[in-house]
């Protein structure tokens, strides 16, 4: 893990987060500047900046977590679909240099779409709203 990486600091418990899932290799938590309610980030606990730098084991664990979480996130947020995306490197728009997958619940007409969904935040919800959303998702995925 990196000493200064914000996601590594979340993994270590140094920075609070709204966790929705955790296992030995991965962690999923709400984005505090979401593109839509329920916008979740799934990260490997191992610090790597790019997908291609992950070990095979960490990559498999990351995508296994994604596979297991998507339906529960959508159900918890009453969303029939989701945008799923990875910005792989700073030139792609990756803001935190640690591999992470965005899962953004979507509804018809919400002005979503993959590109807008990964770059356009709705503003930071209240802590109370984030706690409630995290609980709804945890109930569906755990």
Strands 26-30 and 40-44: antiparallel
Whether residue 34 is contained in a domain is answered as yes
Q: What does the alpha-carbon distance between residue 21 and residue 7 come to, in Å, rounded to a whole number?
A: 14
Number of neighbouring beta carbons within 10 Å of residue 124: 12
Q: In which domain, by residue range, is 37 found?
A: 6-141
pLDDT of res. 109: 75
Q: What does the alpha-carbon distance between residue 38 and residue 77 come to, in Å, rounded to a whole number?
A: 6
pLDDT of res. 1: 73
Is the pTM higher than 0.85? yes
Q: Number of folded domains in the chain?
A: 1
Whether the pLDDT of residue 110 is over 80: the answer is no
Whether residue 1 is contained in a domain is answered as no
Q: Which residue has the higher pLDDT, 124 or 45?
A: 45
Q: Is 104 helix (H, G, I), strand (E, B) or coil?
A: strand
Whether residue 112 is contained in a domain is answered as yes
Whether residue 68 is contained in a domain is answered as yes
Whether residue 100 is contained in a domain is answered as yes
Whether residue 48 is contained in a domain is answered as yes
Contacts for 142 with CB less than 8 Å, ≥ 6 apart: 21
Whether residue 11 is contained in a domain is answered as yes
Buried/exposed 51-90: b ≥16 CB within 10 Å, e otherwise: beebeeebbebbbebbeebbebbbbbbebeebbbbbbeee
Number of neighbouring beta carbons within 10 Å of residue 5: 17
Q: What does the alpha-carbon distance between residue 105 and residue 95 come to, in Å, rounded to a whole number?
A: 20
pLDDT digits (tens, 9 = 90+) for 49-79: 999 999 999 999 999 999 999 999 999 999 9
High-pLDDT (> 90) share of the chain, %: 82
Q: Which residues are catalytic?
A: 100
CATH of the domain at 40: 3.30.428.10
Whether residue 29 is contained in a domain is answered as yes
């Amino acid at each position: 893990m990196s000493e200064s990486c914000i996601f590594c600091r979340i993994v270590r418990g140094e920075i609070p987060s709204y966790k929705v899932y955790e296992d030995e290799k991965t962690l999923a938590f709400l984005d505090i500047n979401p593109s839509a309610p329920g916008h979740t980030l799934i990260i490997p606990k191992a610090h790597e900046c790019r997908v291609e730098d992950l070990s095979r084991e960490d990559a498999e664990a990351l995508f296994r977590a994604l596979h297991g979480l998507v339906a529960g996130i959508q159900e918890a947020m009453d969303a029939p679909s989701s945008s799923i995306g990875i910005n792989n490197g700073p030139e792609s728009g990756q803001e935190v240099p640690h591999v992470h997958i965005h899962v953004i619940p979507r509804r018809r007409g919400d002005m979503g779409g993959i590109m807008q969904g990964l770059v356009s935040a709705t503003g930071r919800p209240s802590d109370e709203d984030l706690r409630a959303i995290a609980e709804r998702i945890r109930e569906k995925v755990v």
